[in-house]
């Protein structure tokens, strides 16, 4: 098992590194081909935040472990709100931007309800995957139209656009190719290691996906969110997490549905999806609470982090 654990750690490191190389290379290549930076930001850069989850989902579905992919998507959303925003709010209180409150958070609430509705029959079918895929296309299109009509990018997107790597076409293609290859290999190593650990410990792949894999693939969000808060861009931090969670539900969940439809357990639907919904509603309460400022305070961050720790303790004890 120790070998599998070491391989998993190495897989996480390679996955995070290669995702950054892949996104930078893809963005620079598109820019060199004449694609507008705004369109690049709304597609390649935005999807890049969920690249680790997406590639793990692809490999897991192909390797006949679709439940690992589903658990990773749900577990990552739980970790993003409870762990990432909880820790970041303890470092610095996080205000909600107008864009997040008016647009992105309602989309997240809608996506979460849609996912649970589709999973209510305890299956994730090909039709469900098509619905989720169409939903992510609609969200991206709506985001593009909103940005186009306002002639300005959101603060989070603007910061990401400014960080696009300035590469030659040859360099960008090399970075894109290297990132893609390492992404696929590291995702495969990670899935195999997670499966071996589950078999060795006698637990389900779902549990591993909800805990270890979810935490590992949420590390980029944790790093980016804390970095934004420390740099004084606390309002961007929530937008990063909300955007990532929307993509986890609509883009990542659609992968196993389209490639390898499967069923889920009652416990996953009521316990795990229920916790994801509860934390999302908690986030909305902090944003729209009557008589309170739209900000996640340190106390509220502690509540979110405690909820995440309690949830993980519960599922480990029930394993």
Determine contact, residues 93/235, Cβ cutoff 8 Å.
no
CA-based angle 24:25:27, to the nearest 5?
Answer: 65
- Residue ranges per structural domain of the chain: 2-317
Judged against a pLDDT cut of 90, whether residue 83 lies above it is answered with yes
- Residue 159's pLDDT is what? 55
Q: What class does CATH assign to 2-317?
A: mainly alpha
**Please, which residues have CB within 8 angstroms of residue 163's CB and are 6 or more apart in sequence?**
none
More confident of the two residues 177 and 156: 177
Statement: residue 158 has pLDDT above 60: no
Residue for token pair 């949420």? 218
**DSSP secondary structure code for residue 94 in this structure:** E
Mean pLDDT for the chain? Answer: 84
Confidence of residue 289 (pLDDT cuts 50, 70, 90): confident
Q: Calculate the alpha carbon distances from 319 to 122, 193, 262 in Å.
A: 20, 19, 21
Point out the least confidently predicted range of 34-43, 74-83, 242-251, 254-263.
34-43
Q: Scan for tokens 């963005």, then name that residue.
A: 27
Distances (CA, A) of 318 to 4, 112, 189: 23, 25, 27
So what's the pLDDT on residue 130?
Answer: 97
Q: What is the pLDDT of residues 177-209, one digit of tens each?
A: 888 888 888 888 888 888 888 888 888 889 988
Q: How far from each other are the two terminal CA atoms of the chain, in whole angstroms? A: 18
- What pLDDT, on the 0 to 100 scale, is given for residue 113? 96
pLDDT at 165 over 60: no
CA gap 180, 19 in Å, rounded: 8
* pLDDT attached to residue 175: 85
Residue 254 pLDDT: 94
Beta bridge partners of 95: 295
Residue 48 has pLDDT above 80, yes or no: no
pLDDT recorded at residue 111? 96
pLDDT category of residue 235 using cuts at 50, 70 and 90: low
With 90 as the cut, is the pLDDT of residue 4 above it?
A: no
Q: In terms of Cα–Cα distance, which of 183, 189, 215, 191 is closest to 48?
A: 183
pLDDT at residue 277 greater than cutoff 90: yes
Least confident of 22-26, 200-204, 230-234: 230-234
For 26-40, 80-94, 276-290, which range has the lowest pLDDT when averaged over its residues? 26-40
Return the higher-pLDDT residue of 84 and 31: 84
- Spatial distance between the Cα atoms of 90 and 67, rounded to a whole number of angstroms: 33
User: What single-letter DSSP state applies at residue 152?
Assistant: S
- Please state the rounded mean pLDDT for residues 72-76: 93
Confidence of residue 46 (pLDDT cuts 50, 70, 90): low
Percent of the chain with pLDDT over 90: 38
Mean pLDDT, residues 63-88 taken together:
93
pLDDT at 156 over 60: no
Q: Give the Cα separation of 172 and 23 in Å (integer).
A: 10
**Structure confidence at residue 149 (pLDDT):** 62
Whether residue 212 is predicted with pLDDT greater than 70 in this model: the reply is yes
Strand, helix or coil for residue 252: helix
Note the pLDDT of residue 286.
Answer: 93
Q: Name the residue among 158, 50, 161, 49 with its Cα closest to residue 99.
A: 158
pTM (2 d.p.): 0.85
DSSP 294: S
Check if the beta carbon of residue 254 is closer than 8 Å to that of residue 133.
Answer: yes
**pLDDT band at residue 297, thresholds of 50, 70 and 90?**
very high
pLDDT at 223 over 70: yes
The pLDDT value recorded for residue 45 is 60
| Average pLDDT of the segment spanning 60-80 | 92
Facing residues of 263 across strands? 123
The Cα–Cα gap between 189 and 292 comes to: 46
């Amino acid at each position: 098992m120790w070998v599998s654990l070491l391989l998993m750690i190495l897989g996480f490191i390679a996955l995070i590194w290669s995702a950054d190389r892949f996104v930078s290379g893809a963005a620079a290549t598109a820019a060199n081909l004449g694609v507008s930076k705004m369109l690049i930001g709304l597609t390649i850069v935005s999807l890049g935040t969920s690249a680790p989850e997406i590639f793990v989902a692809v490999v897991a579905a192909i390797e006949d472990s679709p439940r690992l992919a589903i658990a990773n998507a749900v577990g990552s959303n739980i970790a993003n709100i409870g762990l990432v925003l909880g820790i970041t709010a303890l470092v610095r209180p996080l205000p909600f931007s107008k864009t997040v409150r008016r647009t992105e958070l309602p989309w997240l609430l809608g996506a979460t309800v849609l996912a649970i509705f589709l999973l209510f029959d305890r299956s994730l079918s090909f039709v469900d995957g098509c619905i989720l895929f169409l939903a992510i296309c609609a969200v991206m299109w709506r985001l593009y139209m909103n940005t186009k009509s306002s002639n300005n990018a959101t603060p989070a997107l603007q910061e990401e656009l400014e960080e696009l790597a300035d590469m030659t076409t040859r360099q960008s293609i090399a970075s894109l190719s290297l990132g893609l290859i390492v992404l696929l290999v590291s995702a495969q190593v990670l899935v195999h290691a997670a499966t071996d650990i589950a078999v060795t410990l006698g637990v389900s792949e779902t549990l591993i996906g909800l805990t270890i894999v979810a935490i590992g693939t949420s590390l980029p969000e944790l790093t980016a969110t804390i970095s934004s808060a420390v740099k004084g861009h606390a309002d961007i931090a929530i937008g990063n997490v909300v955007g990532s969670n929307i993509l986890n539900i609509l883009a990542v969940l659609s992968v196993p549905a389209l490639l390898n439809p499967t069923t889920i357990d009652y416990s996953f639907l009521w316990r795990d999806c229920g916790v994801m919904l509860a934390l999302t509603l908690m986030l909305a309460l902090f944003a729209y609470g009557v008589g309170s400022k739209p900000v996640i305070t340190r106390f509220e961050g502690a509540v979110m982090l405690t909820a995440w720790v309690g949830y993980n303790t519960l599922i480990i004890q029930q394993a």
